[in-house]
Structures are given as C-alpha cells and as structure tokens.
Structure 1
Amino acid sequence: MSTSSTTSTTSSTLSTSSTSSTSSTPSRRARGGDTPPPRTGGSEAEVLRGFLDYLRDSVAAKVEGAPEPQVRTPGVPSGTNLLGLLNHLAGVERATFLGERVTDWQATFQAAPEDGAADVVDRYRTAVAQANAVLDGCADLGAPLPRARPDRPAPSVRWALTHLIEETGRHAGHADILRELIDGATGR
C-alpha cells in the first residue's frame, strides 16, 4: 500500500468513526464544544504562557453559567465545589505572581456566601490580569520572580509558570467532572 493510500484510508477511518450514527452517545466535542490546546509560538515563554492561559480560560469557563446553588455545592465527599476551585486558583495566582501571603489555603476552597459565580470569575480574571502584567515584565525565564513572597526565596519565572500550569490543570480536571455532574456540560 502506498503512503497516499495509507493516509487516505486513515483519514477516512477517522472521519467515519467520529460521525458514526451507531453510537447513541454524542462525542465529547459535540456535547461540549471542546477547544484544542493552543498552537503557540516557538519560544519557551510563549509555549508556557499559551498553555497557562488556555487552562485559565478553561477553568473559568466551567464556572461561568453554572447554576446556583450547584456551583457551590460539594460534588464529592472532600467538599470540593466549582466556585471554591476558582476562588482557590485566584489565591494561587496572587500568591505566586504577586507575592501575597495566604495563611489558610484550605479556606481558599470556599467562596464567601454572598459571592456569586460572576463575582468569583471576575476576581479570578483580575488576578490573572495582574499576574500577566508581572509576567510581561519578565524577559528571562531563569530570573527570580520580581514580586515573590518576602518569607521565602523567589522561584524562577519558569518554575512559577510550570507550577501554575500543573496547579491550574489539576483543578481544571476537577472542574470538568464537577460541571458534568451538575448539568452535563463537558468540553473546554
């Protein structure tokens, strides 16, 4: 079989399997409009920031439009809920990039009773914008963060970006599951 025949067969197989009418369950993309990962520029900084922004948008989108009171109702025995996850991530952004001190990390997993989803999303997006302003001034990924916490050595910009990708990605996965349990919404 020639290379062009193999490509044609594979392409045909992929397109027919994703649109097959034999399955009664819609594909993940059809149910939730999944967004693929970014195809960012070639520099390390562009790739790291592109993936972090992708995850940030994904986790915020999970909270936007989620109904009350389910957005704050624990979906698992640990008490984890959508609103609390985003509230926590806002605290992580501020602690990591702005040097804010958090004395009780467990408390960050609960939003204030008077805060609705829009309030927490706005607070998160503000923290992200402030973090990005700090990152915009960092040309060297190996340099220490300029606004690190005063009680510990400053991590490198690279370490901070990698940590936030890990932290945000972990909680984005939690948010995926919690949102699907609430109203069936899937995808990023």
Structure 2
Amino acid sequence: MPATTGRRRRRDTPPPRTGSSETEVLRGFLDYLRASIAAKVDGAPEPRVRAAMVPSGTNLLGLLTHLTSVERSLFLGEEVADWQATFEAAPEDGVAEVVARYREAVERANELLDGCTDLAAPVPRPRPGRPAPSLRWALTHMIEETGRHAGHADILRELIDGRTGR
C-alpha cells in the first residue's frame, strides 16, 4: 500500500494461461482485456462515470461506448460515421446499459470468431467499401485498442472512487 494514499490495493488478475495455438493466445488475451475493461466500468458511480477526469475530456463511460463501436465495426462490419462521437455515451444511457451493450457486442463478435479457423483469412464481415483486414490483424488491433483504453480506464476509475486492480 503506498504511503501517500492510504488506500488498499486490490491484486491484479494475472494474464491468462491459454492454449498453445496462435488463435488461442490471441483470443485469450483479447477476452482477458475485454473482461478487465467491462469490470472497470461496471458499478462505477453516476454521474462521475461520465465526467471528464482529464483535460482531453475522456471519461469512463465514453471509453466503453467507443470500444463497443470498435468491436461492431471491426468484427461485425458496422459502419461508423464519426469516430470521435463514439467516445460519448448518450445522456439516457446508464452504466448498466452501456456495459450490457458492450458485452452483447463482444458476444456477437465471439460467435462470429468461433467459426474462423484461418488467421490469414479476411474478417468475415468487412465494412462496406473497405478492404477486409486479416483476422490476425483484426485480433491484434483489437487487443491493442482494448489494452490501451483499459489502461485509461484503470486511471479514471481510481480517480473516481479509488478502485484499483483488475
């Protein structure tokens, strides 16, 4: 426990031990990060969950709203007209709704990914008018995107109510 804060730190959940195939490793780490960021938002108090805690305006609920859009775009082929707008949750959306929407997008993406066996193949539902990336690229990008925003979420949640750990 750091002497400066007096807060008890929760232990982090270690990275997953996955199977040995490339697909199992990529999917294992992606699911680990997905669960981590959903847990950071789940149960966060209103209205602080949507408050800009840093000068950029980033907020916890907006991060999960954005990641829902990325999952839907990358794996389900949904078009996004304004990426910056995906960082804002609608005023009527509460924490439970945003978390449920994210988990539903992840579930739909996983159902699609469960049928994919070749990482070199293009994603099954590319965005209209754009070349489809390989599944390997899409999984790696989603790990990077989710991991980056999970780090942001760690800091924001600690600023909101002191909660740390995964």
Given the two structures, how large is their TM-score scaled by the length of structure 2?
Answer: 0.95
**Aligned positions of 1:15-164 closer than 5 A:** 24=3, 31-164=9-142
Q: TM-score, normalised by structure 1?
A: 0.84
Aligned residue among 144, 158, 164 for 1:166: 144
After the TM superposition, which segments of 4 or more aligned residues of structure 1 sit over 6 Å from their partners?
A: 25-28
The one-letter amino acid of 2:137's match is W
Give the superposition deviation at 1:150.
1.9
1:102 Cα offset (Å): 0.1
C-alpha distance in 1 between matches for 2:127 and 2:6:
45
Whole-angstrom CA distance in 1 between matches of 2:99 and 2:34: 11
Letter of the 2:92 counterpart? E
Aligned residues: 166
Q: Summarize the Cα distance change of 1:140–1:34 in structure 2 as closer, same or farther, 3 Å threshold.
A: same
Question: CA shift at 1:78, angstroms?
Answer: 1.1
Cα distance in 1 between the residues matched to 2:96 and 2:29: 24
Residues 180, 157 of structure 1: alpha-carbon distance in 2 compared, 3 angstrom cutoff: same
**What do you get for the CA RMSD once the two structures are aligned?**
1.7
User: What secondary structure sits across from 1:50 in the alignment?
Assistant: helix
Structure 2 gaps, min length 5: none
State how far apart, in whole Å, the 2-side matches of 1:171 and 1:24 are.
Answer: 28
Q: Give CA deviations for 1:57-78 in whole Å, capped at 9, x if unaligned.
A: 0000110111110000011111
Distance in structure 1 (CA, Å) of the matches to 2:6 and 2:48: 25
- Residue-by-residue CA offset, 1:51-99 (whole Å, 9 max, x unaligned): 0000000000110111110000011111100000000000000000000
Match of 2:154 in 1: 176
CA distance in 2, matches of 1:41, 1:25: 41
For structure 1, the residue ranges without an aligned partner over 5 or more in a row are: 1-20
Code of the aligned partner of 1:47: V
Q: In the TM superposition, what whole-angstrom CA distance separates every residue of 1:12-41 from its partner, at most 9, and x where no partner exists?
A: xxxxxxxxx9x747999x612311100100
